[in-house]
Amino acid sequence: MTLEELRKRIDELDQQLVAALNERAKAAILVGHLKAATSLPVYEPAREKLVLQNVRSHNNGPLPDVELTHIYERIIDVMRALQRNELASERNAQAQKGTGPATGAQAPETGNKQ
């Protein structure tokens, strides 16, 4: 393959990664809602350990496990922040409507482009 063809392939893969990450984010937000409804904490170290073990068990390289773990640790951090931000936004909206307790906290930005 030529350099141009390889770069085109990388661009295609990046588009697939973005779509998959956004699907994962949607699922993580739904998990956050379920956690809130059942009073579970957003941060669950045992679950995160299982996620990392699962990812490593499906890794056939050439990406080393340690590097894949670093990538997924960051993905998990971002997904956890999305859960917290979503739940904080909902609490703030409920407080403004008078349907729930006010938290007084501002939801940090997630880096989404508008």
**Structural domain containing residue 92:** 3-97
The enclosing domain of 57 has a CATH number of: 1.20.59.10
Burial class from Cβ neighbours inside 10 Å (0-12, 13-18, 19+) for residue 32 reads: buried
pLDDT band at 105 (very low <50, low <70, confident <90, very high): very low
Residue 41 lies in a domain: yes
Give how many domains the chain has, as a whole number: 1
Residue 114 lies in a domain: no
pLDDT band at 101 (very low <50, low <70, confident <90, very high): low
Residue 7 lies in a domain: yes
Residue partners of 109: CB distance under 8 A and separation at least 6: none
Q: For residue range 1-59, what is the model confidence (pLDDT) as tens digits?
A: 999 999 999 999 999 999 999 999 999 999 999 988 898 988 999 999 999 999 999 99
pLDDT of 17:
98
pTM recorded for the entire structure: 0.76
